[in-house]
C-alpha cells in the first residue's frame, strides 16, 4: 500500500484567479452575466500564474500533511490524532475551493500540459463538499464519524468476549467450524446498521458537491479520473472482467466442490453461490486461507521461505536489504541513508503504531520510507518487495511538477509493487541463496493455486465494490435496497452469498473499510490486471522462454531501464501512454493473467470434468 494524501489541500491564498472566491474562502453573490464576462476574460497567462502559485502551495501542504500523518501513525495519542484530523480538514476544504477555481478555466485555451494539471486538480477530490459552509462541515463530521465507527468496531459474543476485527479475522482465517465462522461473520456486520443513515446523508452531500463541480453525481466524477469518459471507463472494466471470468469460474467450481466435501453439500450446495463465511476472509475477497482445503495433492514445492529466512538468520533489516538488492540489480540507485534511519521496521514495545504496511514520501524528493511491523515470514518478504516498489516509483517521479507526482492512474502504483512481487520466484530465491534448488515444474500447480486464491479470487470483488457505489451515487440503488443490491452483485460477480438472511436495515457494505472510509476501489481491480501485463512484458525483455510464472526480472538491466522509463513519467501523460511504454499497446489486456495461470487452468478443467459448475 502506498500512503498518499488523496485530496489536494489548499489555503485560500493559493486561489488567486477565481473571481467568485474571496481570500476568506466565502462565495460571493455574483450576477450571472458578470460571471460569464469575467470567465471569458481569463488568459493563458492567468492560468500559468494560478498553476505556479498553487503548485508551491501544494508542495508545502502535501509535505506538512504527510509529516503530520507519519507522526500520528507512529505515535498514536489524542494530540497527534487532533493534528491529523485538522490537517485532513484543511486538505479537504481547500481542495473544494481549488477544484472550483480550476473549473473557471474550462473555456480558456491552454496547453495540453496546463489542461492536464487543471483536470487533475478538478478530479482530485474523493469526497467533494457542497459550496455551503454548514453542509461542508456536516459532510466532514459524517466522514469522520463513519471512519471512527469502523475503527472502533467490535463484537461481543455470547460468552461476553469483546472481539476486534483482528481477532474476528483470525477466526475467519483459521477456524474450520461452520458455526464459529458464522458467528464471527455475522458479529462483525453488527457495526453496519448504525452507519446506514449517516452514509445515506453522506451520499446526498457528496453528490451535491460533485454536481457543483459539473458532474452528474459522485460516481461519474470518480470514473472521469482515467483519461477517458466515465461511460467508457465502466465499459472497459466490464470488458476486462469478461476476459478473466472463465479462469475465475474454474477456480470457483473447484473451491466450491472441495468446501462441499469438507463441510457437507447440505451446507455448500453444488449448484449455488458459496456461503461467504467459508472462504477464509471476512469479506470473501481473497481465499488464500483455505488453501489447505483445496490444495492439489503432492503440490508441496519442497521449501518454505519462512523456514529458510530463519535458517539463514535473516533479521528484519536483512529482509529489507534483500529487497533493495532486487532493485539495484535492475540498475536503480540504492535507497538513501535517511530511509534506514527514519523508516519503521519493527513494532515498538513502548507505544501503539499503525502496523499496516505502507510506503511513504515525506518531502516529494528523497525522504522515502516504509512503515511496517515486519514479521519474519515468506509472505512479509514478498510484501517488502511490493512496498519498495512504491518507494522507487515515488523517487523516480520526484522531478515532475507536483501535479504529476503520482502514478499514471491510481491502479499503477499498486500494480508496480505487485509486479515486483511476482518476480519473487523459486529461481530468484535460489539466486539470492535462500533455497538450494529450484523445484520441478510439476510442483508449480501448488504455487499457482496459492497465487490464484489471492489474486484471481479477488478480481470480481475488486470490480463490484464500486459497481455498487456507482449505482448508489446515481440513484439506481435506493437506501431501502442498499443491502439487497449489495448481495445481488456479490452473487452475480463472485458467486458468493450471505450465509443467513439479511434484512433491509442491515448495511453489509459498511463492514468493508473502503465504503465508510470513502476509498475508491476500482484501483485494486486495475492493479490486478496491470501487474500481470507488466510482468509478462518485462519478462519478454529479459528473453525469458519458459513459463511466465517462473520468470523473474531480477538482475536484468534492460527490464529495469524500461520499468524506470514508466516510473519517471509519473502522471505527466495519460495512463495509456505509460501503459504503451511497457506493453506496446494503449489498451489493457487481461490475457496475461490467463497466460500466467495456464498450467493451473488445465489442472482445474481436469478436476472439474464431472462437477456441476456455475452459479
**Residue ranges of the alpha helices (H) in 213-313?**
218-223, 230-263, 291-294, 305-311
- 580 by DSSP, 3-state: which? helix
Predicted confidence band of residue 2 (pLDDT cuts 50, 70, 90):
low
Tell me whether residue 72 is one of the annotated catalytic residues. no
Tell me whether residue 277 is one of the annotated catalytic residues. no
CA–CA separation, 502 vs 504, rounded Å?
7
Contact partners, residue 234, CB within 8 Å, separation at least 6: 223, 470
Contact partners, residue 465, CB within 8 Å, separation at least 6: 509, 512, 514, 515, 521
Residue of 19, 170, 295, 357 with catalytic role: 357
Residue of 254, 277, 385, 390 with catalytic role: 390
Own/partner pairs, 30-35, CB within 8 angstroms, 24+ separation = none
How many angstroms from the chain centroid is the CA of residue 579?
18
160 Ramachandran zone, left/alpha/beta (phi>0; psi -120 to 50)? left
Least Cα distance to 379 among 295, 466, 291 occurs for: 291
Tell me whether residue 545 is one of the annotated catalytic residues. no
Least Cα distance to 558 among 577, 537, 538 occurs for: 538
- 27 by DSSP, 3-state: which? strand
pLDDT digits (tens, 9 = 90+) for 159-204: 999 998 889 998 999 999 999 999 999 999 999 999 999 999 999 9
Predicted confidence band of residue 482 (pLDDT cuts 50, 70, 90):
very high
pLDDT digits (tens, 9 = 90+) for 508-555: 999 998 999 898 999 999 999 999 999 999 999 999 999 999 999 999
Let me know: does 603 contact 254? Beta carbons within 8 Å: no
Pairing of strands 496-497, 274-275: parallel
What is the average per-residue pLDDT within 563-577?
Answer: 96
CA–CA separation, 291 vs 499, rounded Å?
21
**DSSP codes of every residue in 343-356:** -B-S--SSS----S
Tell me whether residue 579 is one of the annotated catalytic residues. no
Number of Cβ within a 10 Å radius of residue 166? 8
Tell me whether residue 252 is one of the annotated catalytic residues. no
CA–CA separation, 69 vs 353, rounded Å?
12
Tell me whether residue 387 is one of the annotated catalytic residues. yes
CA–CA separation, 384 vs 417, rounded Å?
9
Let me know: does 277 contact 286? Beta carbons within 8 Å: no
Predicted confidence band of residue 3 (pLDDT cuts 50, 70, 90):
low
**DSSP codes of every residue in 168-237:** HHHHHHH---HHHHHHHHHHHGGGSTTTHHHHHHHHHHHHHHHHHTT-SSHHHHHHTTSSS-HHHHHHHH
pLDDT digits (tens, 9 = 90+) for 356-405: 788 999 998 999 999 998 989 888 898 899 899 999 999 999 999 999 99
CA–CA separation, 538 vs 545, rounded Å?
12
Mean pLDDT is lowest, of 38-42, 292-296, 452-456, for 38-42
Contact partners, residue 364, CB within 8 Å, separation at least 6: 59, 62, 63, 398, 402, 405
Stretch (H or E) spanning 360: strand 358-361
Let me know: does 114 contact 51? Beta carbons within 8 Å: yes
Q: Which residue has the cell 478480481?
A: 459
pLDDT digits (tens, 9 = 90+) for 432-443: 999 999 988 888
Residue of 356, 379, 480, 504 with catalytic role: 356
**DSSP codes of every residue in 481-539:** GHHHHHHHHIIIII-EE-SS---TT--GGGGSTTTTTT---HHHHHHHHHHHHHHHHHH
The whole-number pLDDT of residue 463 equals: 97
pLDDT digits (tens, 9 = 90+) for 223-270: 999 999 999 999 999 999 999 999 999 999 999 999 999 999 999 999
Number of Cβ within a 10 Å radius of residue 488? 15
Amino acid at each position: 500500500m502506498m500512503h498518499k494524501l488523496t485530496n489536494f489541500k489548499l489555503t485560500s491564498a493559493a486561489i488567486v484567479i477565481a473571481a467568485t472566491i474571496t481570500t476568506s474562502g466565502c462565495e460571493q453573490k455574483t450576477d450571472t452575466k458578470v460571471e460569464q464576462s469575467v470567465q471569458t476574460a481569463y488568459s493563458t497567462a492567468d492560468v500559468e500564474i494560478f498553476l505556479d502559485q498553487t503548485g508551491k502551495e501544494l508542495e508545502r501542504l502535501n509535505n506538512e500533511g504527510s509529516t503530520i500523518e507519519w507522526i500520528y501513525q507512529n505515535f498514536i495519542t489524542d494530540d497527534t490524532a487532533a493534528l491529523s484530523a485538522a490537517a485532513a480538514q484543511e486538505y479537504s476544504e481547500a481542495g473544494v475551493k481549488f477544484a472550483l477555481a480550476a473549473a473557471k478555466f474550462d473555456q480558456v485555451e491552454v496547453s495540453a500540459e496546463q489542461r492536464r494539471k487543471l483536470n487533475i486538480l478538478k478530479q482530485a477530490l474523493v469526497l467533494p463538499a457542497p459550496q455551503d459552509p454548514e453542509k461542508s462541515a456536516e459532510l466532514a463530521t459524517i466522514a469522520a464519524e463513519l471512519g471512527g465507527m469502523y475503527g472502533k468496531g467490535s463484537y461481543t459474543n455470547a460468552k461476553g468476549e469483546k472481539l476486534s476485527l483482528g481477532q474476528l479475522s483470525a477466526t475467519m482465517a483459521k477456524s474450520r467450524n461452520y458455526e464459529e465462522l458464522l458467528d464471527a461473520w455475522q458479529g462483525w456486520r453488527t457495526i453496519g446498521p448504525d452507519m446506514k443513515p449517516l452514509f445515506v446523508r453522506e451520499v446526498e452531500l457528496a453528490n451535491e458537491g460533485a454536481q457543483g463541480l459539473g458532474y452528474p453525481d459522485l460516481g461519474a466524477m470518480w470514473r472521469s479520473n482515467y483519461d477517458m469518459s466515465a461511460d467508457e471507463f465502466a465499459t472497459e472494466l466490464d470488458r476486462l472482467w469478461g476476459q478473466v471470468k472463465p479462469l475465475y469460474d474454474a477456480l470457483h467450481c473447484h473451491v466450491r466442490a472441495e468446501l462441499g466435501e469438507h463441510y457437507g453439500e447440505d451446507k455448500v450446495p453444488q449448484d449455488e453461490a458459496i456461503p461467504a463465511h467459508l472462504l477464509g476472509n471476512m469479506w470473501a475477497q481473497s481465499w488464500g486461507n483455505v488453501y489447505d482445503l483445496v490444495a492439489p495433492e503432492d503440490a508441496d514445492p519442497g521449501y518454505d521461505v519462512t523456514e529458510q529466512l530463519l535458517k539463514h538468520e535473516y533479521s528484519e533489516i536483512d529482509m529489507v536489504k534483500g529487497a533493495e538488492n532486487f532493485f539495484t540489480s535492475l540498475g536503480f540507485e540504492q535507497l538513501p541513508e535517511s530511509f534506514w534511519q527514519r523508516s519503521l521496521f519493527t513494532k515498538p514495545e513502548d507505544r501503539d503504531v499503525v502496523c499496516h504496511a505502507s510506503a511513504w514520501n515525506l518531502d516529494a524528493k528523497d525522504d522515502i520510507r516504509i512503515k511496517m511491523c515486519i514479521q519474519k515470514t515468506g509472505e512479509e518478504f514478498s510484501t517488502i518487495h511490493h512496498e519498495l516498489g512504491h518507494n522507487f516509483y515515488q523517487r523516480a517521479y520526484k522531478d515532475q511538477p507536483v501535479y504529476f507526482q503520482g502514478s499514471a492512474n491510481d491502479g499503477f502504483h499498486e500494480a508496480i509493487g505487485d509486479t515486483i512481487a511476482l518476480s519473487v520466484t523459486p529461481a530468484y530465491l535460489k539466486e539470492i541463496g535462500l533455497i538450494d534448488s529450484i523445484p520441478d515444474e510439476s510442483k508449480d500447480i501448488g504455487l499457482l493455486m496459492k497465487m490464484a486464491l489471492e489474486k484471481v479470487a479477488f478480481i470480481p470483488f475488486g470490480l463490484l465494490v464500486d459497481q455498487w457505489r456507482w449505482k448508489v451515487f446515481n440513484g439506481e440503488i435506493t437506501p431501502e435496497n442498499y443491502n439487497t443490491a449489495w448481495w445481488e452483485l456479490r452473487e452475480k460477480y463472485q458467486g458468493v452469498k450471505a450465509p443467513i438472511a439479511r434484512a433491509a436495515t442491515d448495511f453489509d457494505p459498511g463492514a468493508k473499510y473502503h465504503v465508510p472510509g470513502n476509498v475508491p476501489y476500482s484501483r485494486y481491480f486495475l492493479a490486478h490486471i496491470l501487474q500481470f501485463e507488466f510482468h509478462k512484458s518485462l519478462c519478454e525483455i529479459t528473453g525469458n522462454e519458459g513459463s511466465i510464472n517462473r520468470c523473474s526480472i531480477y538482475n536484468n538491466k534492460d527490464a529495469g531501464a524500461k520499468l524506470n522509463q514508466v516510473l519517471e513519467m509519473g502522471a505527466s501523460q495519460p495512463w495509456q501512454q505509460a501503459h504503451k511504454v511497457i506493453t506496446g499497446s494503449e489498451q489493457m489486456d487481461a490475457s496475461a493473467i490467463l497466460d500466467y495461470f495456464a498450467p493451473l487452468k488445465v489442472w482445474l478443467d481436469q478436476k472439474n470434468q464431472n462437477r456441476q459448475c456455475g452459479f
